[in-house]
Every structure is written in structure tokens, then in C-alpha cells.
Amino acid sequence: MRSDNGSPFASGRAVHGLSRLSAWWLALGIDLERGRPGHPQDNGAHERLHRDISLQLQSLGQSDQNSLDLWREEFNHQRPHEALQMRCPSELYHNSPRKYQGGLEQLDYPQMATRRVNRCGQIIWHNDQLFVSGSLAGWSVGLKPTLDHQIEVWFARLLLGWIDPVTANFFRADIRPKKTKNNTTKT
């Protein structure tokens, strides 16, 4: 799923920018692809469509939901599109005959220990509460020991970070530790 870095697709503070919506997409097996922050040209056609819609509604002196609904009706059912061999989208695209059966109840992590993320975004590990991400509340994460005595924390196919068993701290995979003046690692 290609999106920008804004709500509801991403969260600026969460691990890997996961929002509740993007976490659900990952759980369903949908890969995430985001444009670079501050670079709308990464998704130029989509941004251009938004601009054209806005300009068209402004030229009519309207910009409310009712106007947008009328624009969508015309775009999909009355206006032919060159990319569709001068047909309207409604001539080609129809609702799926399959009913949506709902999402996953939980993720399965074969050969990994699992922990449920509580409503505060924390997991319990050896009687310690470690904050992982509030956007994963209610989901399970997988814990996998590594050869260097760290514990990897996974959500679906995404490595969230590591637990240091000595300090009982969670270190995010998307934040690189900074070196201090005396060459020690600081996060």
C-alpha cells in the first residue's frame, strides 16, 4: 500500500511510523510503501488529482462534502477517461461478488514466543513492562532470541527492534543509536 506519511496512514512517533491502520494492513499481509517526508513528487499523480479536485470545486465556489460527492459521481459515472479507452470507471469497475469476511484475530509466530501488546502499547517480558508501540495495542508480537543474546521483537514480517536482556530495555529498529563523546552508545 503506497501512502504518504500523514494520519491515518502513518504516525510520526510510532516505531516504523506504524499507525493503527498501517498495523492492520501489515497483519493482513499488505506491504507498506511510503513516500519520503516532504516530497509530494514521490506520489505526483495522486497529489495532482487532489489539486485538480480542489481547483474544480473552488471554481464552483463549493468545497463541502456534498460537492465532493457530486464530483465523484460525475468522475465515475459520466466523464469518459482516455486511459480507459474513453469509458467511464463505472463501466469497468464493480463491487466484488465476494463478501469481506473480516480481518485476522491474531498473528501466528511459529517458533517464537509471543506477547500481547496491552492498551498502553507495552508488553510484559520477565516481569518488566516494555513500551513497544501504542499503535499495536491488542496485537501479538513475536520474540526471537539472537546469537548475540538480544531478543528480536517482530510484528508480522516487520522487525520492530530488540530487547536487551541485561537492561530490560526495548531498542527500536528504526532509530539508530547515537555515539557520545566517550564512544558509548546512547539512544
- Give the pLDDT means over successive 10-residue stretches in the chain (187 positions): 84 91 92 84 82 84 82 91 94 89 83 96 95 96 95 96 95 77 54
pLDDT given for residue 56 in this prediction: 84
pLDDT given for residue 64 in this prediction: 82
pLDDT given for residue 179 in this prediction: 53
User: 130 with 169: CB under 8 angstroms?
Assistant: yes
Angle at which helix 44-59 crosses helix 65-77, to 10 degrees, equals: 120
pLDDT given for residue 54 in this prediction: 86
Residue with the three cell numbers 513528487: 41
Other C-beta atoms lying within 10 Å of the C-beta of residue 172: 19
pLDDT given for residue 71 in this prediction: 86
Burial of 11 (0-12, 13-18, 19+ CB in 10 A): buried
pLDDT given for residue 176 in this prediction: 74
pTM of the predicted structure, to 2 decimals: 0.74
For the stretch 122-161, what's the b/e string if a residue is b when 16 or more beta carbons lie within 10 angstroms of its beta carbon? bbebeeeebebbbbbbebbbbbeeeeeebbbbbbbebbbb
pLDDT given for residue 26 in this prediction: 93
- 75 Rama class: left (phi>0) / alpha (psi -120 to 50) / beta: alpha
- Please tell me the CATH code under which domain 2-92 is placed: 3.30.420.10
pLDDT given for residue 181 in this prediction: 57
> Which triple of cell numbers denotes residue 31?
506491504
Where are the domains positioned within the chain? 2-92, 113-178
